[in-house]
């Protein structure tokens, strides 16, 4: 192994927990759950990223209540009976050396949707009997196509119930053995719906000015922090800009300062998603297009950030870390393309020529094979 260690492959300490490296599998919903339970599909889908030596492996978004699912096939942490299935997953991820991480969510007005690849008019797998449910939101405004159903406006008492459910989901995530928890506060789901004046037209204490619109998301973050062990880190995913012109980077920085005061450790900086089409992103979707948001939040709120979005290879990831724009690198679709992304990135960066980072059941053979390959 070479002596130089790229930042991507140095450990990252968060409270009492250490990620062995800074490569993270981004949360990616798979629509494969029944009743929110982890099954064999999730074990294989996520297990291969642990064999691929990502430092942190995130599950997809897990709903805190059934109506907070995006689709009927999402994972859940809304009931104690779901804990055991998650425990099986966290055991495996940790056994292979990754931190086990989960993302908790409420979809709000963007719930009850078809899978992304369903044909118009279809809702999930035909044989599974998926049904629509009444979605909820800060106001009665729909997110627009393809999120057609109009939400029911949440009453203040119902918002307080949802805050409690965020806390209960955090307690279950801890019982299930997760090392890291992330609140999904981005992509136009319920928390983001409250932040933006475009979706939140309330005139009670949960609406109005920015402080009012932040009240519910901050209360949810507090509830999670209270129910999540002190020594375990907590992330939040934000849309730095909502994609519809109602919430911008300056708002996100102010929000991140409040989140830091509550005890959030890392801001996972994404963007967009408030409305169906989300056409108002100020940047083109090009390589690393959301990195400037991670940098702005990191510098503006003095808080660690995770960069995500079209980060494709080791040198690109390393450059982001070296420039100080972010502390962690989340890989989404490129991890679907290459579940061994982290190991390949280590080779690209010249720090694992001998396959030492690989599980020895693979690495020993691959190292020996080197001599048999054409020069």
Ligand X SMILES: Cc1cc2nc3c(=O)[nH]c(=O)nc-3n(C[C@H](O)[C@H](O)[C@H](O)COP(=O)(O)O)c2cc1C
Provide the binding-site residues for ligand X, judged by CB under 6 A: 26-29, 60-61, 103, 184, 186-187, 237, 270, 308-311, 331-334
Catalytic site includes residue 41 = no
- Considering the complex, what minimum distance in angstroms separates the CB of residue 288 from ligand X? 9
Nearer to ligand X, 27 or 243 (CB): 27
What residues form DSSP beta bridges with 19? 12
Q: Looking at 189, 206, 255, 362, which residue is catalytic?
A: 189
Nearer to ligand X, 165 or 187 (CB): 187
- Considering the complex, what minimum distance in angstroms separates the CB of residue 143 from ligand X? 16
- Pairwise CA distance, residues 65 & 222, whole Å: 18
Nearer to ligand X, 47 or 202 (CB): 47
Other CB atoms within a 10 A radius of the CB of residue 162 amount to 22
In 68-214 the beta strands, taken as DSSP E runs, fall at: 75-76, 99-105, 136-137, 152-153, 180-185
Residue with tokens 């009976």, as numbered in its chain: 81
- Considering the complex, what minimum distance in angstroms separates the CB of residue 323 from ligand X? 18
Residue with tokens 């209360």, as numbered in its chain: 219
The strand pair at 12-14 and 17-19 is best described as antiparallel
Looking at residue 146, what DSSP letter applies? T
Residue with tokens 């450990």, as numbered in its chain: 11
- Considering the complex, what minimum distance in angstroms separates the CB of residue 64 from ligand X? 13
* Contact indicator for 310, 288 with CB cutoff of 8 Å: yes
- Considering the complex, what minimum distance in angstroms separates the CB of residue 259 from ligand X? 16
- Considering the complex, what minimum distance in angstroms separates the CB of residue 49 from ligand X? 13
- Considering the complex, what minimum distance in angstroms separates the CB of residue 211 from ligand X? 25
Nearer to ligand X, 329 or 346 (CB): 329
Helices (H) and strands (E) in the chain, counts: 11, 13
Nearer to ligand X, 27 or 138 (CB): 27
Nearer to ligand X, 311 or 355 (CB): 311
Peptide bond into 199 cis (omega under 30): no
Nearer to ligand X, 89 or 186 (CB): 186
**Nearest-CA neighbor of 173 among 48, 23, 36?**
36
Catalytic residues: 189
């Amino acid at each position: 192994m070479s002596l130089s260690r790229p930042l991507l492959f140095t450990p990252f300490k968060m409270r009492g927990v250490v990620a062995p490296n800074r490569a993270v599998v981004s949360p990616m919903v798979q629509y494969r759950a029944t009743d929110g339970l982890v099954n064999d599909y999730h074990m294989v889908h996520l297990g291969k990223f642990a064999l691929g030596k990502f430092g942190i492996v995130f599950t997809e978004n897990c709903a805190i209540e059934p109506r907070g699912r995006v689709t009927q096939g999402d994972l859940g942490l809304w009931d104690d009976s779901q804990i055991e299935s998650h425990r099986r997953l966290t055991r495996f991820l940790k056994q292979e050396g990754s931190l086990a991480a989960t993302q908790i969510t409420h979809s709000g007005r963007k719930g009850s949707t078809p899978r992304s690849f369903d044909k118009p008019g279809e809702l999930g797998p035909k044989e599974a009997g998926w049904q629509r449910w009444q979605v909820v939101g800060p106001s009665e405004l729909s997110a627009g196509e393809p999120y057609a159903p109009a939400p029911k406006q949440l009453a203040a008492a119902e918002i307080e119930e949802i805050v409690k459910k965020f806390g209960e989901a955090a307690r279950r995530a801890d019982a299930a053995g997760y090392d890291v928890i992330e609140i999904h506060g981005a992509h136009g789901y319920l928390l983001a719906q409250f932040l933006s004046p475009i979706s939140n037209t309330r005139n009670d204490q949960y609406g109005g000015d920015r402080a009012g619109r932040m009240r519910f998301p901050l209360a949810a973050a507090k509830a999670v922090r209270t129910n999540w062990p002190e020594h375990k880190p907590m992330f939040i995913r934000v849309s730095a800009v909502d994609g519809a012109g109602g919430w911008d980077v300056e708002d996100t920085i102010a929000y991140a300062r409040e989140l830091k005061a509550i005890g959030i450790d890392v801001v996972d900086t994404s963007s967009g998603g408030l409305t169906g089409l989300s056409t108002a992103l100020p940047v083109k979707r090009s390589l690393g297009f959301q990195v400037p948001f991670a940098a702005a939040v990191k510098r503006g709120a003095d808080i660690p950030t995770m960069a995500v979005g079209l980060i494709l290879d080791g040198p690109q990831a390393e450059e982001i870390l070296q420039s100080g724009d972010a502390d962690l690198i989340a890989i989404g679709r490129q991890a679907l393309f290459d579940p061994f992304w982290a190991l390949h990135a280590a080779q690209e960066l010249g720090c694992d020529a001998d396959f030492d980072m690989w599980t020895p059941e693979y690495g020993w053979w691959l190292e020996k094979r080197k001599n048999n390959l054409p020069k």
